[in-house]
Amino acid sequence: MTRVTEQFDFSRKFLAGGVSASTRVNRALGHPLYFDRAAGCRVWDLDGREYLDLCCSHGATLLGHGDPRVREAVEWVLDRGAACSYENELHGQLAELLCKTIPCCERIRFTGSGTEATMHCLRLARACTGRSKILKIEGHFHGYHDQVMFSIGTPADQLAEESAPARYPGSAGIAPGLEQHLVLVPYNRTDLLERAFKQHGKELAALICEPVYYNAGCVVPTSEFLAAMRRLTREYGALLIFDEVLSAFRMAPGGAQEYLQITPDLCTLGKAVGGGFPLSVFGGRHDVMQHLMPEGTCQHSGTYNGHPVSVAAGLAAVTAYRQPGFYERINAVAERLYSGLNQLLARHGIPGRVQGLGARFGIYFGVTREVHNYRDAVRHDRQKMLQFVAAAIAHGVYFHDYGGAACHHGFCAAMTDADVDETLTRLDDAMRVMNP
Ligand SMILES: Cc1ncc(COP(=O)(O)O)c(C=O)c1O
């Protein structure tokens, strides 16, 4: 018995499944790791074991754990009473900074989580267009609300034809019929996207996508598919929504839309925008955002929207992402880590590949050709992934496990070249104990 496993036994008596979020059980271990403290790119579990963190709060702590700039901003707000549920001057300051930084944002609103951001964004798109259907990309993840909990982890044998992907529910308990509002297309299939618009274009309120599809590791859209998404949404009067909850600030200050040079009508931001505190954003064209109450008729509100602690943390974080040299450093670490990982796989004779962009990446086991969409990613070897995560954790590198699926991992800006080298040395030892 360790303190971690004891904690699991204790928590299970009061917390459903022993966790506060279902995906926190690390299935490679059979329980969650309960952490005691964290600093920079390292975390320590309840038994005092130290790990280099390649989860980084699922992408929320892009600056690293306990960043002093974020801490100072939070303490400043706490010292002033942190009155929540009122407007203060920080809201306007962060809104201005985001409108300067994110290409599509002319107006923004704050929400608390990525799930809320996409939920409100889709309602706004429906209010603005008077249409109800949403084009969703097969496999893309947009949070846990019922509108989009379809086709997110569809088993390989349930996918159906590429021309009509199954609207497979991602959870029990979703009211039957909601899937009727969704049209699905596999990522990077321009021919099928064109076909879907021909059939449903006039009924579509929006096309929502992960512009860089990190929820299947790391999949970048082809320039042809990107251009088609922009062209077809304009042609048919649907809104283009980039869900940048995960991709924002990952490879450029303006997120994937800056990197890919395509400006959507609306976008969502989450995770890194709050510097490790609960904050998310949706925003975009002024004429679209004007549909929100009180100017328009679309409701968006909430007691904790724009909590002052999170907004202060967000201001400090976004200011840090905008510092000269920030992304040069991210890209240099990315190159060192991803090429090092690919070399390790080759040296140990483990078939697989790493695809990464900026500070997040995916590892695909048993896959050697480039992954273009969910159908490619779902065929990766889940057992090998579980084996890898367990071995990495045993050797002091924390990877979160997503049930063996190919999903996203990442590093933070606090990681030095020496930390990367230490990570690779530990993973070299981990791979030595894996069966090829
Ligand atoms: C692209 C994307 N959208 C939405 C969400 C949901 O965000 P949250 O977990 O903050 O509700 C996530 C979470 O991983 C995400 O990756």
Same domain, 18 and 156: no
Same domain, 130 and 155: yes
Same domain, 141 and 209: yes
Decide if 46 is inside a domain: yes
Same domain, 287 and 302: yes
Please choose, from the candidates 334, 434, 337, 343, the residue with its C-alpha nearest in 3D space to the C-alpha of residue 389. Answer: 434
Decide if 130 is inside a domain: yes
Please choose, from the candidates 248, 214, 146, the residue with its C-alpha nearest in 3D space to the C-alpha of residue 400. Answer: 214
Please choose, from the candidates 257, 161, 240, the residue with its C-alpha nearest in 3D space to the C-alpha of residue 197. Answer: 240
Q: What is the pLDDT of residues 159-207, one digit of tens each?
A: 999 999 999 999 999 999 999 999 999 999 999 999 999 999 999 999 9
Q: Separation of 271 CA from ligand 1 center, angstroms?
A: 8
- Is residue 293 classed as helix, strand or coil in its secondary structure? coil
Residue ID of nearest Cα to ligand 1 atom 9: 114
Find the CATH number of the domain harbouring 341: 3.90.1150.10
What is the maximum alpha-carbon separation in the chain? 62
Same domain, 295 and 216: yes
Same domain, 154 and 214: yes
Same domain, 212 and 234: yes
Query: Hey, which residues does 291 pair with through a beta bridge?
Result: none
Cβ–ligand 1 contact at 118 (below 6 Å): yes
Same domain, 23 and 111: no
Confidence grade of residue 435 (pLDDT, cut at 50, 70, 90): confident
Q: Separation of 146 CA from ligand 1 center, angstroms?
A: 14
What is the rounded distance in angstroms from the CA atom of residue 79 to the CA atom of residue 235?
52
Q: Separation of 301 CA from ligand 1 center, angstroms?
A: 19
Cβ–ligand 1 contact at 381 (below 6 Å): no
For residue 249, give Cα distances in angstroms to 17, 278, 415: 33, 16, 16
Residue whose CB lies within 8 A of the most ligand 1 atoms, among 140, 142, 407, for a mutation test: 142
**Residue 177 Ramachandran class (φ > 0 left, ψ -120 to 50 alpha, else beta):** left
Contact 39, 281 (CB under 8 A): no
Q: What is the pLDDT of residue 340?
A: 98
The residue out of 321, 353, 378 marking a domain boundary is 321
The residue out of 321, 340, 371 marking a domain boundary is 321
Range of the domain at 202: 68-321
What is the rounded distance in angstroms from the CA atom of residue 163 to the CA atom of residue 374?
14
Mean pLDDT rounded to a whole number for the chain:
97
CB-count burial class (<10 Å; 0-12, 13-18, 19+) for 65: buried
Decide if 216 is inside a domain: yes
Same domain, 368 and 269: no
Same domain, 37 and 127: no
Find the CATH number of the domain harbouring 123: 3.40.640.10
Q: What is the pLDDT of residues 68-79, one digit of tens each?
A: 999 999 999 999
The C-alpha angle with vertex 38 and arms to 424 and 313, in degrees rounded to 5, equals 115
Residue ID of nearest Cα to ligand 1 atom 5: 143
Q: Separation of 118 CA from ligand 1 center, angstroms?
A: 9
Query: Hey, which residues does 39 pair with through a beta bridge?
Result: 42
- For 335-354, give the DSSP string: HHHHHHHHHHHHHTT--EEE
Decide if 75 is inside a domain: yes
Residue ID of nearest Cα to ligand 1 atom 13: 143
Decide if 2 is inside a domain: no
Cβ–ligand 1 contact at 243 (below 6 Å): yes
Q: What is the pLDDT of residue 178?
A: 96
Decide if 397 is inside a domain: yes
Confidence grade of residue 1 (pLDDT, cut at 50, 70, 90): confident
For residue 135, give Cα distances in angstroms to 201, 336, 339, 347: 9, 37, 35, 42
What is the rounded distance in angstroms from the CA atom of residue 134 to the CA atom of residue 308?
33
Which pTM does this prediction carry? 0.98
Same domain, 341 and 235: no
Decide if 56 is inside a domain: yes
Q: What is the pLDDT of residues 313-339, one digit of tens each?
A: 999 999 999 999 999 999 999 999 999
Q: Domain count for the chain, please give it.
A: 2
Cβ–ligand 1 contact at 247 (below 6 Å): no
Instruction: Please give the number of the atom of ligand 1 that sits closest to the Cα of 114.
Output: 7
Average pLDDT of the segment spanning 288-305: 98
pLDDT reading at 393 higher than 70: yes
- Please identify which residue in the block is written with the tokens 């985001």: 98
Phi, psi of 116 (to 5 degrees): -65, -40
Decide if 1 is inside a domain: no
What is the rounded distance in angstroms from the CA atom of residue 363 to the CA atom of residue 46?
28
Cβ–ligand 1 contact at 274 (below 6 Å): no
Cβ–ligand 1 contact at 142 (below 6 Å): yes
Contact 161, 182 (CB under 8 A): no
Q: What is the pLDDT of residues 113-158, one digit of tens each?
A: 999 999 999 999 999 999 999 999 999 999 999 999 999 999 999 9
Same domain, 288 and 350: no
The residue out of 321, 351, 377 marking a domain boundary is 321
Q: What is the pLDDT of residues 41-97, one digit of tens each?
A: 999 999 999 999 999 999 999 999 999 999 999 999 999 999 999 999 999 999 999
Q: What is the pLDDT of residues 257-273, one digit of tens each?
A: 999 999 999 999 999 99
Cβ–ligand 1 contact at 410 (below 6 Å): no
pLDDT reading at 288 higher than 80: yes
Confidence grade of residue 281 (pLDDT, cut at 50, 70, 90): very high
Q: What is the pLDDT of residue 121?
A: 98
Q: What is the pLDDT of residue 436?
A: 66
